[in-house]
Structure 1
Amino acid sequence: MGYGVMFTLLDDFRDKYGIPETKLGLLVAAGFFMSFLSQILIAPLADHGYARRLVTFGFLIEAVGALGMGFGKSFSVLLGARILMGFGAGMALPAIRRIVILSDRENMGRNLGRVLSVDVGGFAMGPVLSALTADTLGLAAPFLIVAGLMLTAGLVASTLHIEETAQEDQSKEHLAFDLLKTPALAGAIVIGLALFIMIGTFDAVWSVMMEDIGSSTWMANLGITLFALPLIILGPIGGKLTHRIGPFVAATGGLLLGSMCMLLYGNLPVAWMLLSVGIVHGIIDGLTVTGTGMAVGLVAPPARLASAQGLLGGLQTLVGGISATVAGFTYETFGRRTTYAITASVMVVLVITGTRLAGSSFKIKESDEATGLYGTV
């Protein structure tokens, strides 16, 4: 939710605090980069008996970052707050996915879809919070609400009973980079990178682009909400679809269609057309976006699920950060058409590369898990 609030206030940061587009891109990117480090270095601890603590402290650190975003008025303060929010999210999310996957492997797709619905639902509430509170109560108001919710979530998580990995089942490896030796797992991650190439660009320039074509702030916020609503509603349904047709098939199909949507964002002239594409894009993502997480869950060793999910999430956020930085620069220098065309092209290249790496595992389904299709190093 905090990210959804920040995302819709980027143009306010530009207009009120004098922060240029390139630095706005860096602001978005900083959270991605910090989340990368957290997911790579900290998240594997969830496989070593610390899953509940990572979820708890992750939420609490995000709350502190939200307070900084609310009261910061300079680029340096906002940057520090964004770093904290990225670090906290990177700690918590892989641990949450590990808990969800292991709690009911037979319904992994549906349950990951529910996680998506909750995650995106929080993001979608960000613009609503901004619209209701930022203009009347000040820019700090929505971030204060987010901080309170994060603090509550952290305290609740600290009281939950979570089955941790038994010591005898814990991997001796702490970092997860050795998992990239598994071609199918590497393929799933490369395909997943295309998603965050798209997200990094979208996040860095959407609100600025809408303002530059003459759209009002409320319409930019509406666009984000209309994009997110299908993901909230369709998350569990998309998880079941991914279960049925296979995660690699779902992910590649959705991302190739998504690349077409990115081209349209760069070329359509008026806001209502962009909003229409956003709705279609949201439906596509709602039905397919759980694919990469489920693919990693199927081909990764069971004792290293958090490490594998952290590796996926970490590399995604790193690429998302790079994408946001590049998008801010290309938008300011060359305009939106070039920015979105570059993004779409890179997405297609990554999907094709990941598909080739996946090889025979491309058609793997959740029901194939029992046949021994986990990745082997």
Structure 2
Amino acid sequence: MSDPGGPRPSADPVPGGPKETSGGPAERFDRRLIPPMIVGSVLNPINSTIVAVALVPIGVAFGAPPSQTAWLVSALYLATALGQPVVGRLIDLFGPRRLFLLSTSLVGIAGLAGTFAPNLGVLIGARVLLGFGTCAGYPAAMSLLRSEAERTGDDSPAGVLTMLAIAGQTIAVIGPSLGGLLIGVGGWRATFALNIPLAAVALLLGALRLPRPTGPRPSRGRRAAAELDLPGMALFAATLVALLLFLMNPHPSTWYLPVVTVAAAAAFTLRELRTGVPFIDLRVLRGNTPLLATYARGLVAYTVSYAFLYGFTQWAEEGRGLSPSQAGLVQLPLFLVGIGISALTGRRRSILGKLVVGATGQLVACALILLLGAASPVWLLLVVALVFGVPQGLNNLALQNSVYQQADHARMGSSAGLLRTFIYLGSMIASVATASAFGQHADTAGLHHLAWFMLGAGVWFLLLTLFDRGLRRAAADATSERQGPASRPRRRLF
């Protein structure tokens, strides 16, 4: 991989040790890559959180109940859940630069479409485009991290991983509050217009700083194209779309969708097991139990997280009577505490401890929601958001570090994208649960129904963590390393 700002001195890597240049110290991570990595990876979080305070105004503008505006949430995650592993695989094959530039350009186009949308259908289409446009940021960042780790010999870039986690949560802090401010100044359309300057900044940084692929382009492109499993991608898309469409409308009249899901999933499995270069290598994935467990934890953890983000915010506006800007401000403790927790614990290697505390924090926060009512004081709402901030900071960081350590290096982009797919499946389940709990109005009774659902998902998250032997072995290895001699080679967490 070439340097975005010019050639760097390098030496052949020494297996098991740091790379050196002319007998000097190991090279450092190229910090010029950090700005485009951060900007690209936060495009999705800001569009996820900013819409939370816009759902009610959009519903009023188009005469749509919560059960219909829920599609604004689901559309983004349907596209992103499908696109993340696909774009991640393309990044593995073609490098991060071109996919980053192409995807972020779609963000600007989606911003324009949403700003001038004449009806809810067009607005949902803009959110779909936003979902595809924000697909490249996170897999590109993880791919760059892995390539820099191989170049420098530092296999544990905890500082950069923590920076990415904090950046995402910082944007999440800004999202609801900024959304409320924009709605107050320019209406809900301003929340879509924001994507135009954001996309311009991302494109500029990507063009200037992301490394260009090396080697003869024609031959490299032909080899990569030969490894592109288009039938596998199509079957994966069919499976996911059918499943998510059913989750959004689980009704007897949509009985055919589960049938399509099962059939497409079976065909996808056969295809991936038999092809030489699969889109998702199920043979390797099947043997990587820790990574599969991480994906499952990501699904249930973010089911709870997104149910709170959208359900609590809608209830704060309709059930509690707060304005969009006030509802956004109520969310501030959640993200501020999350940022602080990530900063304090980011360099700690323990993953098990973070997940246990994060799961427990979710259960406590869900129980507190059951105490809320239409006349609850604002300070109680702030307490609930504050408690939710603890798992917000711990879970995101622990899951991100887990995938970095567990995934096959050659498939880091697609593995990171697949984590996001499971996270967005969780968001889809949360969206369905929120729409079902509220129906036509986000009242207190619906919030309590949603809280019981969140408690159930939180229990599953805790059980998946406590009974994962791989996490316990990793914790024991980390303890052994801290107590051993300084010269002992560092082992992988998983």
Same fold (TM over 0.5): yes
Q: TM-score, normalised by structure 1?
A: 0.88
Comparing 307-316 and 193-202, the one that deviates more: 193-202
Q: TM-score, normalised by structure 2?
A: 0.68
Residues 1:92 and 2:197 aligned together: no
Secondary structure of residue in 1 paired with 2:313: helix
Structure 1 distance, partners of 2:291, 2:449, is 32
Indicate the residue corresponding to 1:285 in structure 2: 392
Residues 1:30 and 2:79 aligned together: no
Comparing 162-171 and 209-218, the one that deviates more: 162-171
Structure 2 distance, partners of 1:231, 1:110, is 16
Structure 2 letter corresponding to 1:326: A
Indicate the residue corresponding to 1:296 in structure 2: 403
Contact 1:44 1:176 in 2 (8 A): no
Indicate the residue corresponding to 1:264 in structure 2: 368
Residues 1:120 and 2:226 aligned together: no
**Among residues 84, 96, 112, which one is paired with 1:67 in the alignment?**
112
Contact 2:140 2:413 in 1 (8 A): yes
Residues 1:174 and 2:285 aligned together: no
Structure 2 letter corresponding to 1:255: A
Task: Report the structure, 1 or 2, having the larger helix content.
Answer: 1
Residues 1:364 and 2:468 aligned together: no
Contact 1:42 1:91 in 2 (8 A): yes
With over 3 angstroms needed to count, the CA separation of the structure-2 counterparts of 1:23 and 1:349, relative to structure 1, is same
Q: Give CA deviations for 1:74-103 in whole Å, capped at 9, x if unaligned.
A: 221111011111112223212212223443
Structure 1 distance, partners of 2:449, 2:491, is 46
With over 3 angstroms needed to count, the CA separation of the structure-2 counterparts of 1:214 and 1:304, relative to structure 1, is same
Structure 1 distance, partners of 2:345, 2:116, is 38
- Structure label with greater radius of gyration: 2
Structure 1 letter corresponding to 2:188: L
Secondary structure of residue in 1 paired with 2:134: helix
Q: Give CA deviations for 1:342-363 in whole Å, capped at 9, x if unaligned.
A: 122122214423553x423434
**Among residues 199, 207, 215, which one is paired with 1:150 in the alignment?**
199
Structure 2 distance, partners of 1:186, 1:332, is 34
Contact 1:247 1:295 in 2 (8 A): yes
Q: How far 1:179 sits from its partner (Å)?
A: 4.5
Contact 1:179 1:185 in 2 (8 A): no
Residues 1:47 and 2:47 aligned together: no
Comparing 176-185 and 360-369, the one that deviates more: 360-369
Structure 1 distance, partners of 2:190, 2:156, is 39
Q: How far 1:370 sits from its partner (Å)?
A: 4.7
Q: Give CA deviations for 1:148-171 in whole Å, capped at 9, x if unaligned.
A: 122221232122243769979999
Structure 2 letter corresponding to 1:66: G
Indicate the residue corresponding to 1:314 in structure 2: 421
Name the % identity: 20
Structure 2 distance, partners of 1:178, 1:40, is 17
How many residues align? The count is 370
Indicate the residue corresponding to 1:198 in structure 2: 304
Contact 1:36 1:315 in 2 (8 A): yes
Q: Give CA deviations for 1:232-267 in whole Å, capped at 9, x if unaligned.
A: 3443333213x2xx2233123212311321232243
Structure 2 letter corresponding to 1:121: T
Comparing 166-175 and 270-279, the one that deviates more: 166-175
Contact 1:117 1:236 in 2 (8 A): yes
Comparing 68-77 and 97-106, the one that deviates more: 97-106
Q: How far 1:25 sits from its partner (Å)?
A: 1.8
Comparing 320-329 and 119-128, the one that deviates more: 119-128
Contact 1:176 1:307 in 2 (8 A): no
Indicate the residue corresponding to 2:234 in structure 1: none
Secondary structure of residue in 2 paired with 1:215: coil
With over 3 angstroms needed to count, the CA separation of the structure-2 counterparts of 1:263 and 1:3, relative to structure 1, is same
Q: How far 1:301 sits from its partner (Å)?
A: 1.7
With over 3 angstroms needed to count, the CA separation of the structure-2 counterparts of 1:29 and 1:100, relative to structure 1, is same
Structure 1 distance, partners of 2:281, 2:64, is 37
Contact 1:193 1:316 in 2 (8 A): yes
Q: Which has the higher contact order (CA 8 A, sep 6+)?
A: 1
Structure 1 distance, partners of 2:301, 2:465, is 12
With over 3 angstroms needed to count, the CA separation of the structure-2 counterparts of 1:288 and 1:6, relative to structure 1, is closer
Q: How far 1:288 sits from its partner (Å)?
A: 4.3
Contact 2:117 2:123 in 1 (8 A): yes
Contact 1:254 1:289 in 2 (8 A): no
Contact 1:296 1:308 in 2 (8 A): yes
Q: How far 1:287 sits from its partner (Å)?
A: 3.9
With over 3 angstroms needed to count, the CA separation of the structure-2 counterparts of 1:110 and 1:64, relative to structure 1, is same
CA RMSD in angstroms comes to 2.8
Structure 2 letter corresponding to 1:285: Q
